[in-house]
Structure 1
C-alpha cells in the first residue's frame, strides 16, 4: 500500500511540475494575431499600448481589458520583458473609477509612459473621455516607480484642441513628444514641457484625418503612421515621411495591401530596437475585438523601412535578438 501511494504521489508531482513548467516556459517566437501568454499563462492585457526601456527591461503599458474587470473601473496593465517576447505581469498601475467626472461610461485609453530624467518621475498620458467621446482630453498620471501605482493628476485639451487617440515619440536626442488626433484639424505632433506634465509647443500639424498615430526616426528620416477614422473597424494604415518633425511631410501611402485592412489591425506604436549589428523597427498594432475586448490580439511585425519607403510584411512567426537587433522569420513546421 505504501509503495502504491508513493508511486501515485510521484505521478501527481510529475504532472503538477509538468503543468507548471508549461505555463512559465520561455518562448523565443512572436506569433502575430495569436494569444500572447504572460508568465502566469494569461493573455497579455496591454491594448492600445506603448513601450519604454528602463535599464535592461522593456516595459509594456496598455489597456487592461480582462473579462472579469469591474465595469465601473478602468485599468492600465504593466508588463516587463528582457527580450520583447516573454512578458511578466507587474501591476495594474491604474485601477480607478471615473477620476474626472466624465460619467459611468468614461473612457481611459492608449496609455503612454515617459521617463523624465530631471524630475525622476514616470509620466503617463492617457486618452480621457466621456462615453460619447465629446470631452476629447488627455489625462496625466505620475509615479516614482515604473511599475508602481500611478497617481492621476489632471486632464486637459492639449494646445486647447480636441484629443482622442494619442501616441508617444522619443527622438534620438531624448526629446519627448505627444501625438494626438484632433478631428476638426488633423494629426498633431507636440513637444512636452520640461517636466512632461504639459505641452510646451506644437511642432507640426499634419492636415490628415488620422488616428492611431505613431512616429519613428530612422536613418535621417521621420516616418509617421496613422489609420483612418473607422472606429473599431480596421482600415488601410498609411505612412508619410519628412526630414524634420516640423515637415513638410510627403503624401501618405499604404503600408500594406489596402484590401487587407493592415491585416485587420490598427497602429499604436513603432518601436525602434537599436542593436550592436543592426536596427529593427517593429510595427506594434492591435487587432480589436470590440465584442470580446479581452480577447483582442496583437500584431507585431518588423517593418521593411528605409530610403523613404515603409512596408508591413504579411504577418508570420518571427523572432528577434534585442542585443544585436537582428530578427528572422521562424518556420514552425521544421
Structure 2
C-alpha cells in the first residue's frame, strides 16, 4: 500500500509539473522564487544549452524609469525562469554618466560574438531629464551572459553618412527644404523622401524602438525606428558587433513603424512591427523581403481572430527561434500597463504559416511548443 501511495504521489507531481509546462499569455508569470518576472521590451539569447531572457527592470506601481537597469533570467526549457539579477546596472544619480539612474533603457538585446567570445548588448537609450529627445543607442559588453555588462558607448547612428538608398541629389534637394512644417502640404512627401534623415546627418540618426538580428552568415544588423518614428533603419554592425560599419538603408519610409521584430524563414526576411500609439496597442504590421537590404513589401496584419486589430492588446518585442525545433518561432510581446509598468504582462504566441507560407499569429489561452 505504501508503494502504491508513493507511486500515486509521484504521478500527481508529474501531472502537475506537466500542466505547469505551458505558456499562458497575459497571465501573471512568476520565476522559480515565486516573484513576477520583471523584464520588458527585451529579447532572448540561446547559448550553450541555456536561454537568457533580458529586458528592462521596471518599477512596480508607477510609470517610471528602469529600477536598476537590465535584468536577466535563465531557463533550460523556456517555461521556468530563474532570476539572475541585474546584467547591466545604471550609475548612481548625479554621476553625470549617460546611463545614470533616471535615464531610460528600453528594448535591450544581447548577441554572442563567436570570434571575440564577448556578449554584446544593444539598447535604446534616453538621457535623464530629456524625455525622448536624445534618441540614442547604447552598447555594453560582458564575458558572461549574466553580466556584469560594461558600458562602452552611446550616441546617434551613422553621423555624417547618408543611407545607401538615398542619392546625393536627394540630400541636396532635402537640405533646401528643412523649413517645411507639418502643416505644409508638401510635408508628407518630403518626410517620406528623407527630410529628417538629411536634418540629422550631422549629429547622427535617431534611434528608438529597436532589435538586433544575426543572419546565417553571422553578420549582425541593428533595426530601429528613426526619423521621429516615421521610418525604420537597418544598419550593419562591425565584425565585433560593437559598432556600425556605416552601411545602412531606410525602409518603409514614412509609414510610422516601431517595435520591430524580425526572423528569416525559407530564404525570406519577415518583419513584424507596430504603429506608433504610445503605450496603447494597435494593429501589427508585416513586411517581407528577399534581401535584408530590401526592397521590403508591406503585407497585412499577421494577427487573426478576436482583438487582432490590437495585436491581442500587446506590442511585439522579439521573435525567438526555439532551439532544436525546426521552423518553430515564438512571437514575444508586452501587454503594457502604463500605470504599473512592472506588472506589464508577457504575451508569447507561436508563429504559424498559411497555405502560401505567410506568417500568422493566432491567440491561445495556453499552449506548448
| Alignment TM-score, normalising by the size of structure 2 | 0.75
Q: Is the 8 A contact 2:61 2:341 kept in 1?
A: no
- Residue 177 in structure 1 maps to residue 231 in structure 2: no
1:90 aligned to which of 79, 84, 90? 84
1:35-46 aligned within 5 A = 35-46=28-39
Post-superposition Cα deviations, 1:272-330, rounded to whole Å, max 9, x if no partner, equal: 22535x3211111000001011110011000113645121102320112xxxxxxxxxx
Taking a change above 3 Å as real, the CA distance of residues 68 and 311 of structure 1, as seen in their structure-2 partners, is: closer
Q: Is the 8 A contact 1:172 1:217 kept in 2?
A: no
Q: Is the 8 A contact 2:139 2:152 kept in 1?
A: yes
- Residue 284 in structure 1 maps to residue 332 in structure 2: yes
- Residue 194 in structure 1 maps to residue 239 in structure 2: yes
Taking a change above 3 Å as real, the CA distance of residues 254 and 135 of structure 1, as seen in their structure-2 partners, is: same
| Shift in Å, 1:25 | 6.3
- Residue 272 in structure 1 maps to residue 321 in structure 2: yes
| Shift in Å, 1:67 | 2.6
Range with bigger deviation, 67-76 or 87-96: 67-76
Match in the other structure for 1:161 = 205
| Shift in Å, 1:74 | 3.7
1:169-318 aligned within 5 A = 169-184=213-228, 186-206=231-251, 207=253, 208-257=255-304, 260-275=309-324, 278-305=326-353, 307-318=356-367
1:120 aligned to which of 117, 121, 126? 117
Q: Is the 8 A contact 1:221 1:308 kept in 2?
A: no
Distance in 1 of aligned mates of 2:308 and 2:265: 27
| Shift in Å, 1:39 | 0.8
SS in 2 for 1:161: coil
SS in 2 for 1:246: coil
SS in 2 for 1:303: strand
Distance in 1 of aligned mates of 2:308 and 2:81: 32
Aligned residues: 297
Taking a change above 3 Å as real, the CA distance of residues 316 and 73 of structure 1, as seen in their structure-2 partners, is: closer
Taking a change above 3 Å as real, the CA distance of residues 40 and 146 of structure 1, as seen in their structure-2 partners, is: same
- Residue 56 in structure 1 maps to residue 49 in structure 2: yes
Higher percent of residues as strand: 1
| Alignment TM-score, normalising by the size of structure 1 | 0.82
Distance in 1 of aligned mates of 2:97 and 2:257: 26
Q: Is the 8 A contact 1:234 1:264 kept in 2?
A: yes
| Shift in Å, 1:260 | 3.7
Distance in 2 of aligned mates of 1:261 and 1:289: 14
1:47 aligned to which of 40, 60, 81? 40
SS in 1 for 2:36: coil
Q: Is the 8 A contact 2:259 2:274 kept in 1?
A: yes
| Shift in Å, 1:119 | 1.4
Taking a change above 3 Å as real, the CA distance of residues 186 and 259 of structure 1, as seen in their structure-2 partners, is: same
| Shift in Å, 1:252 | 3.5
Q: Is the 8 A contact 2:58 2:65 kept in 1?
A: no
Taking a change above 3 Å as real, the CA distance of residues 72 and 62 of structure 1, as seen in their structure-2 partners, is: closer
Post-superposition Cα deviations, 1:75-103, rounded to whole Å, max 9, x if no partner, equal: 21101111111111112112213664578
| Shift in Å, 1:57 | 0.6
Distance in 1 of aligned mates of 2:100 and 2:54: 24
CA RMSD after TM alignment: 2.4
Distance in 1 of aligned mates of 2:308 and 2:29: 26
| Shift in Å, 1:200 | 1.3
- Residue 108 in structure 1 maps to residue 105 in structure 2: yes
Distance in 2 of aligned mates of 1:71 and 1:209: 24
Q: Is the 8 A contact 2:61 2:339 kept in 1?
A: no
